[in-house]
């Protein structure tokens, strides 16, 4: 278990800034993250078959495995905008590279917000002018510029004697495993080769962001970028992997807690499945179930919701006699029957900021954990008018 810094900071050599460039009526809508030297880089993107223009461009840019900056706008996602959208994405990176005096092919861009609206790139280009003078070491400043329906800016740091790792993220809705609209940027001053950084990133994403679901909808814009500028020197790769994974899981939990309309974090822990693949199927079936989400919101200890969600995974092995269901450390089902648990006490336990569902399948050693949130009236209210918000 790692201790996170009380106040997040950018690692050595990294800075960021944000401002309002006129895309939003109020609040920051443009952010830059900058390394004083070119960094080793890796990234993963959404698997949605209708990717945004920044994802299309980003996949090409990251092939070099070198980045010096990230430029991000919110409110308009530059998705469903054709060839012109891709051109405007590259105009973003060109404008940022000019302002930051770095190579254009070492600046990656992201956009988040409404789909099928032309990117107001002229506002972004004008907004970037003079932005280098605003660069600071507080990652929360940059985090403010990438928010859409998030209720607060999200950034965390985990430091040790040798290096610092900082993660900035946003995402409240249209989030489902296979890149959970989610943007995440990881910065470190550790010296890590791009190939190793890519491997670390993929392992960590598989344990965290790919196990995050708010509403089962896979965004067109999901992006996770990692940059390592090496200013802190070489580090132990295994130890770095552990810290990186821990930080990604912490950010995943933050994103889940701040899901659109959410009032609590849901954690679905699957144990004793045949293998990891099967465990993930069960975990995702439960975290995506509207009935489990609403039972959590209503503090309703209805174990039938859990049995239903597991039982609908038709292509998986399941022996009800071996199942054990546990909610917030209370065993509610074992030996094929409901236990005689204190319903009132369990209702009170579910009425909290975090609900943990643990399922022991009893068939093997496969494990998986999924992260999500409850389903509330707030989610409907937020998304019923998102286009005009």
Active site residue 181: yes
**Total Cβ atoms within 10 A of residue 354:** 14
Burial of 29 (0-12, 13-18, 19+ CB in 10 A): buried
* Cβ proximity of 357 and 324 under 8 Å: no
Return binding residues. 148, 170, 181, 260, 383, 389
- Please give the structure tokens belonging to residue 150: 């998030």
Return binding residues for substrate. 148, 170, 181, 260, 383, 389
* Closest C-alpha to 154, from 134, 175, 136, 171: 171
Q: Residues near 82 by Cβ (< 8 Å), separated by ≥ 6?
A: none
Pairing of strands 354-360, 330-334: unpaired
Length of the chain: 389
Q: How far is CA 1 from CA 158, 254, 340, in A?
A: 11, 17, 34
- Please give the structure tokens belonging to residue 313: 């995974």
**Total Cβ atoms within 10 A of residue 201:** 22
Beta bridge partners of residue 185, listed in sequence order:
168, 225
The active-site residue, picked from 181, 188, 218, 220, is 181
Helix (H) or strand (E) holding 368: strand 366-373
Query: The tokens 């003079």 sit on which residue?
Result: 130
* Neighbouring C-alpha atoms within 13 Å toward the C-beta of 232: 21
Dist. CA 252–CA 246, nearest whole Å? 10
Centroid of chain to Cα 69: 20
Residues labelled catalytic: 181
């Amino acid at each position: 278990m790692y201790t996170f810094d009380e106040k997040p900071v950018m690692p050595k050599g990294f800075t960021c800034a944000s401002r309002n460039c006129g895309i939003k009526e109020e609040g920051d809508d443009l952010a830059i993250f900058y390394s004083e030297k070119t960094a080793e880089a890796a990234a993963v993107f959404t698997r949605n078959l209708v990717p945004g223009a920044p994802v299309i461009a980003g996949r090409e840019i990251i092939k070099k495995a070198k980045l010096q900056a990230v430029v991000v706008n919110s409110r308009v996602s530059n998705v469903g905008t054709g060839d012109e959208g891709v051109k405007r994405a590259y105009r973003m990176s060109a404008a940022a590279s000019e302002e930051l005096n770095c190579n254009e092919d070492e600046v990656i861009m992201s956009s988040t917000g409404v789909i099928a609206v032309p990117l107001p790139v002229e506002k972004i280009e004008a907004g970037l002018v003079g932005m280098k003078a605003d660069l600071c070491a507080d990652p929360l400043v940059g985090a403010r510029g990438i928010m859409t329906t998030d209720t607060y800016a999200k950034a965390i740091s985990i430091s040790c004697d040798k290096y610092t790792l900082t993660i900035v993220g946003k995402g409240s809705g249209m989030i489902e495993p296979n890149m959970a609209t989610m943007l995440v940027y990881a910065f470190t001053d550790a010296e890590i080769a791009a190939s190793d950084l890519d491997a670390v990133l993929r392992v960590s994403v598989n344990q965290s962001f790919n196990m995050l679901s708010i509403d089962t909808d896979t965004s067109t814009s999901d992006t996770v970028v990692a940059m390592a500028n090496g200013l802190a020197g070489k580090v132990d790769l295994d130890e770095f992997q552990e810290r990186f994974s821990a930080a990604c899981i912490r950010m995943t939990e933050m994103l889940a807690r701040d899901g659109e309309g959410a009032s609590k974090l849901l954690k679905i822990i699957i144990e004793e499945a045949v293998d990891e693949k099967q465990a993930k199927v069960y975990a995702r079936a439960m975290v995506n179930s509207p009935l489990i989400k609403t039972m959590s919101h209503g503090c309703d200890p209805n174990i039938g919701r859990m049995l239903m969600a597991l039982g609908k995974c038709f292509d998986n092995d399941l022996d009800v006699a071996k199942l054990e269901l546990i909610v917030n450390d209370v065993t509610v089902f074992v030996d094929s029957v409901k236990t005689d648990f204190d319903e009132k006490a369990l209702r009170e336990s579910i009425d909290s900021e975090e609900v943990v569902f643990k399922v022991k399948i009893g068939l093997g050693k496969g494990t998986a954990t999924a992260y999500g949130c409850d389903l509330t009236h707030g989610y409907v209210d937020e998304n019923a008018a998102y286009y005009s918000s």
